[in-house]
Amino acid sequence: MNKAKLGLIILALVAVPNALATKTDFYAGIPVKAITNEHGYMLVDMRTNQTILYFNHTAINENLDGKPSITKDEAIEMAEELCGEAYTLVRVTENPYDYDIQFERRVNGIAVFGEDCYVVVNRMTGKIAAYRKIPVEEVKVEQVVKLKKEEVLKIAKARDAKLYIVPGFGVVWFTDGDAVDAVSGKIVSDEMKRIMAEKYKTTVDFGKLEREVWVGEIKSKADSKGIDNDQGAVFRADDEMCKDDIDAAEASMETSYSYWYPWSWDDDADDYDVVSSDSTVNYILGHFEAVYYSGHGNRYCIALGGTGSSSTYCTNDIANNRQTRLFVVSACYAGGNSFGDRLAQNGVGCVIGASGEIADIQYWWGYSACADWAGRFWDWATGNVNVAYQKTAHEARIAANTAVWKKDCNLDSEKGYCNIYI
């Protein structure tokens, strides 16, 4: 594809004379200038004047009732041209309305922390609707790895670990308990906490950006809510790392619409906490409008009762005629494969989940990627005071994926009909 044409596809809807520049903020440690207009917002790297984040609600929602005009291979080609040679394609998910495409930068096969390129292409129009492109940093550390994952799990007494290059520091295993130097085996959590706070500082207020976009078409769309039965529910597997995820989702469901309208989407969303039986899950999916689950899964099941438990809720356990309009499944594989398909077949209106692995491993430095994602998604889906206006489930997923630059817990898959307001 011609680069000039690609640029027009991206910029024609955003870079207009009436755009409003805001004060300098930081996003993943990058000093940025925010620009907004009636179509959305973008973050521009003040050092290079390059756009590193772009969210265009017009392009996201354009012609969703139409027919696809672009193939998956064509979408990948567009994304590769936008991202550049520094990034390696990790996955592409074909959803009813979009192609959700993820790249990451790797050096000698090891991922560089934070350096990724995320692209959403509207299937119906072929336009790039959103993207995040974190610029690469020169890697001056040796990519030496002396410890295997199994050794690290013993050192940190952890269940999972992921290897990263942290520019300016070295190669580190991030686990759900600690950070471990991949060469020495030393636990470096305290040092990494300081590095993360300074190096990857983020101060951008996406709700503020959207309040600047509160005009015309968006306002009229936000007034067109769904059934809104005020029925929210959250539940999880018996894993303490999932507790803050469902807490964040519940808090968002219960947050006031605005300072002028103090009521919320659901003043008292039901927190089922740890669920251990199929019948309870079927009850939840039969009685609540919007539901969030955080835990573990595979292509056919989600875990009930913890990692070591044999209790599961699988495709064959899903009762017919479920009534939930939106079910968000924060678990590896489940929402984006056969389990999600069966949920949609058995009555769940929209299923949002992951087609592959997700992780919540930054727990040791006071940050949970899954809780961050859950809070943002349900803010947008309910339209509470934090985000200024309500999005469809489809758009809320893209907004959360784009905003949360720590990508380990982003959900890439949609099943059923997700162009809905709850």
241 and 275 fall within a common domain: yes
Q: What is the mean pLDDT of residues 374-400?
A: 95
Q: Decide if 286 is inside a domain.
A: yes
Summarize pLDDT for 127-150 with one digit per residue, the tens.
Answer: 999 999 999 998 888 888 999 999
143 and 90 fall within a common domain: no
112 and 38 fall within a common domain: yes
153 and 257 fall within a common domain: no
154 and 273 fall within a common domain: no
Is the model more confident about 143 or about 19?
143
Q: Decide if 193 is inside a domain.
A: no
Query: 167 lies in which domain range?
Result: 138-188
Summarize pLDDT for 151-174 with one digit per residue, the tens.
Answer: 999 999 988 889 999 998 899 999
Q: Decide if 165 is inside a domain.
A: yes
Cβ pair 188, 179 in contact under 8 A? yes
The number of folded domains in the chain is 3
150 and 46 fall within a common domain: no
Q: Decide if 200 is inside a domain.
A: no
291 and 272 fall within a common domain: yes
User: Residue 159 has what pLDDT?
Assistant: 83
Q: Decide if 421 is inside a domain.
A: no
118 and 182 fall within a common domain: no
Task: Indicate which CATH number applies to the domain containing 251.
Answer: 3.40.50.1460
121 and 246 fall within a common domain: no
Q: Decide if 102 is inside a domain.
A: yes
Summarize pLDDT for 321-377 with one digit per residue, the tens.
Answer: 999 999 999 999 999 999 999 999 999 999 999 999 998 876 667 788 899 999 999
Which residue, 188, 206, 222, sits at the end of a domain?
Answer: 188
Out of 27-41, 67-81, 253-267, 397-411, which region has the weakest mean confidence (pLDDT)?
253-267
Q: Decide if 327 is inside a domain.
A: yes
Residue 220's pLDDT band, with cuts at 50, 70 and 90, is very low
Q: Report which of 405, 414, 413 is spatially closest to residue 131, judged by C-alpha positions.
A: 405
Summarize pLDDT for 295-324 with one digit per residue, the tens.
Answer: 999 999 999 985 455 689 999 999 999 999
Q: What is the DSSP string of 236-289?
A: E-S-GGGHHHHHHHHHHHTSBS-SS---BS-TT-EEEEE---HHHHHHHHHH-S
Whether the predicted pLDDT of 1 surpasses 60: no
114 and 76 fall within a common domain: yes
Q: Report the percent of the chain where pLDDT is more than 70.
A: 88
Using CA atoms, how far apart are residues 355 and 69, in angstroms rounded to an integer? 23
33 and 112 fall within a common domain: yes
158 and 282 fall within a common domain: no
Q: What is the mean pLDDT of residues 256-282?
A: 92
